[in-house]
Chain A
């Protein structure tokens, strides 16, 4: 049996006396689309920060394809093939849209800190950038500084930065937050496309997005997983309905 793409065991995080994540165990097999839902303040974003290296866990471990990545620096985790997006847009505001995406392709292309190559001559980085910009529908905005894009465009760029490095495990933190219905549909189609043959873990509030996209769902309440199951069975789960779903669905 191959190791899960991502495996959390006994993961805990406290800030002072406050426990935010209280022992999370979760195994996500390769190729699964997995959604984390839960009420505000449940610790969903904190969980992402622990996996992606922004925060150090207080206890427990994170394994990527069986390899221990607990407490590693974000760049080291990213280089091992785990890439994430942020709930609050986190881009390079003064760089053009083109440079934003191109910068995100460079490490995976092997250019690293190269200060002897002319960046304009890197045909593979250019092609990859063009391809990503096409996928996130920003080709005609390539020249514009990212800071002046509209909100929805910045959210699309956020996803572009996350997928540009070709990581095989993607973490998306509320990719459709604050979007109109039409914009959400475009983003869902985009996520469906970019997560093909990849492992996806996403936080999402929009239940139609979650139930349409996810193979399995985990419900996080007060730092603990209440349930992890297929969408149908999570919907039917009485404890989940009481804790969370009953308020938002039906």
Chain B
């Protein structure tokens, strides 16, 4: 029993949480966001099979997301037109198959080399597929894309998957299965050899493994899971267009994985949830949301290159030896200063946005519910003070945090050694 729980406990908990979430957050917006998060978790984990596990930086991963989606849309339309007895819940397999086949096809070209050559080839393939999508109108539907209707498929146990709640459960189920499968994959001989190729492809060859074959397999399997994610997007939105397989989508998944953290399995999950949440929340408040994403990305790479999961993981030895109190005040100070900096930056961005992109609406606006005039000097001065003052404080607090962390870590290690010699 204990063995069973230690293996499957976390998946049972995840399933229960996924099942209960709609009870806690039942609004339409929340359901849509959570559906989006489910597919993005699969997408970003599939990307981390390349980047985190095998050390391959791909700039064209959305190709497999998009192709999976398009094949799923066409599969749905064909099933509906032919009145085939195929329930919607298995249609993502069409996306998986498309991802697998195109992963193998394009992987055969791109994985012959690792490193920069691989990245450049994926960039080229991404552009190639995105531009063909606009040319091959019959399959990709041109600018408008291809639409479908998920309720046209035969209902399963009376479920027609019309309501968003049912779609959420469909996505959650596929998400859980895919995440479990990708996790299991990291714990196989193949998964470990991927890590070995990431660390040192040459040495991998001298222990009997063909690094090119390892990259190829990893790329192909990663395409399969990206295809599932794209298929779920097709079911969720009931439309696919060329934008889904383009550079912006490929960039989005890099963003998620980097923000969450490349080095751990949980990192991309955290990144997918956070970035999707911010996308939904920010695009609601400001139309400059993509600018904020760019800034977030730069900030993360500069100050927390190991991502959120890596940052949390680093606190583990401190937590274990009860040294966390040494660092928390510094973290709080850095967080506060960071928020002040962001407030100043955001005020400046929003005022500039109002005066340029929305000049027609006049200079009177509100920032955080405070009314102000974007042409007057005072709000600009405030923004500058917040930005410069907050930024200065943040840099100092960040340095102090690092020092405090080093001290606390040394204390933790000393305490751990003392425990061991006592025991």
Which residues of A approach B to under 8 Å, CB–CB? 52-54, 73-75, 78-79, 83-84, 86, 90-95, 99-100, 102-104, 106-108, 111-120, 122, 161, 164-165
Minimum C-beta distance from B261 to chain A (A) = 14
Q: Which of B77-85, B187-195, B293-301, B349-357 binds A?
A: B187-195
| Distance of A115 Cα from B225 Cα, bound (Å) | 15
Check if B190 sits within 8 Å of A91, measured CB to CB.
no
| C-alpha gap A79/B189 in the complex (Å) | 16
Partner of A99, one of B192, B208, B221: B192
Which residues does chain A contribute within 8 Å of B206, judged by CB atoms? Answer: 52, 74-75, 78, 83-84, 90
> How distant is the Cα of A115 from the Cα of B224 in the complex, in angstroms?
14
B202 CB–A CB distance under 8 Å? yes
B387 to chain A, nearest CB (A): 38
Residue of A nearest to B221 (CB): A115
Instruction: Name B207's contact: one of A53, A103, A120 (CB within 8 Å).
Output: A103
Q: Which chain A residues lie closer than 8 Å to B277 at the CB level?
A: none
- Give CA–CA (A94, B187) in the complex, Å: 16
Contacts of A93 in B (CB 8 A): 199-200
Interface stretch among B9-17, B20-28, B60-68, B210-218? B210-218
Question: Does the CB pair B210–A99 fall under 8 Å?
Answer: no
Q: Given A75-B205, A78-B205, A78-B206, does the pair A106, B189 have CB atoms closer than 8 Å?
A: yes
Q: Chain B contacts of A84 at CB under 8 A?
A: 206
Total A-B Cβ pairs within 8 A:
102
Q: Complex Cα distance A114/B196, Å?
A: 15
Q: Which residues of B contact A104 (CB under 8 A)?
A: 207
Using Cβ atoms and an 8 Å threshold, which residues of chain A touch B196? 92, 95, 99-100, 103
- Given A90-B202, A95-B199, decide whether A115 and B191 contact each other with a Cβ distance below 8 A: yes
Question: How close is A131's CB to chain B, nearest CB, in angstroms?
Answer: 17
Bound complex: CA A74 to CA B189 (Å): 20
Q: Does B184 contact A (CB under 8 A)?
A: yes
Q: Which of B184, B193, B208, B214 contacts A108 (CB 8 A)?
A: B208
Chain A residues positioned under 8 Å from B203 (CB to CB) = 86, 90-92, 161
A interface secondary structure, majority: loop
On whether the beta carbons of B205 and A113 are closer than 8 Å, the reply is no
Q: Say yes or no: B208 contacts A107, CB within 8 Å.
A: yes
Report the Cα distance A84→B202, complex, angstroms. Answer: 12
Cα A19 to Cα B307 with chains together (Å): 50
Cβ of B380 under 8 Å from chain A: no
The interface residues of chain B, by DSSP majority, are classed as helix
User: Which of the listed residues B203, B210, B217 has the most CB atoms from chain A within 10 Å of its own CB?
Assistant: B203
- Convert B16-57 into 0s and 1s, putting 1 for each residue whose CB lies closer than 8 angstroms to a CB of A: 000000000000000000000000000000000000000000
If A94-B195, A99-B195, A103-B196 touch, whether A114 touches B188 (CB-CB below 8 Å) is yes
Residue from the list A78, A90, A103 in contact with B193, Cβ < 8 A: A103
Contact of A94 among B199, B202, B205 (CB under 8 A): B199
Q: Is B135 an interface residue (CB 8 A)?
A: no
**A113 to B213, Cβ gap below 8 A?**
yes
Q: Is B200 within 8 A of A90, CB to CB? A: yes
| Selected contact of B210 from candidates A75, A91, A100, A116, CB within 8 Å | A75
Which of chain A's residues have a CB closer than 8 A to the CB of B185?
115
B210 contacts across to A, CB distance below 8 A: 73, 75
Whole-angstrom distance from the CB of B214 to the nearest CB of chain A? 7
Measured CB to CB, the closest approach of chain A to B100, in angstroms, equals 13
Contact call B208/A75, Cβ cutoff below 8 A? yes
| Minimal beta-carbon separation of A74 from chain B (angstroms) | 4
Q: Which residue of B lies closest to A101 (CB)?
A: B207
Q: How far is the CA of A119 from the CA of B189 in the complex (A)?
A: 6
Task: Name 18 A/B residue pairs within 8 A (Cβ), A-sorted.
Answer: A73-B210, A75-B205, A75-B208, A75-B209, A79-B208, A90-B200, A92-B199, A92-B203, A92-B204, A102-B192, A106-B207, A107-B208, A113-B193, A113-B209, A114-B189, A115-B185, A115-B188, A118-B184
With both chains docked as a complex, state the minimum distance between the C-beta of B238 and any C-beta of chain A, in angstroms: 34
Hey, which chain B residues are within 8 Å of A107, CB to CB? 207-209
Give chain A nearest CB distance to B10 CB in angstroms: 16
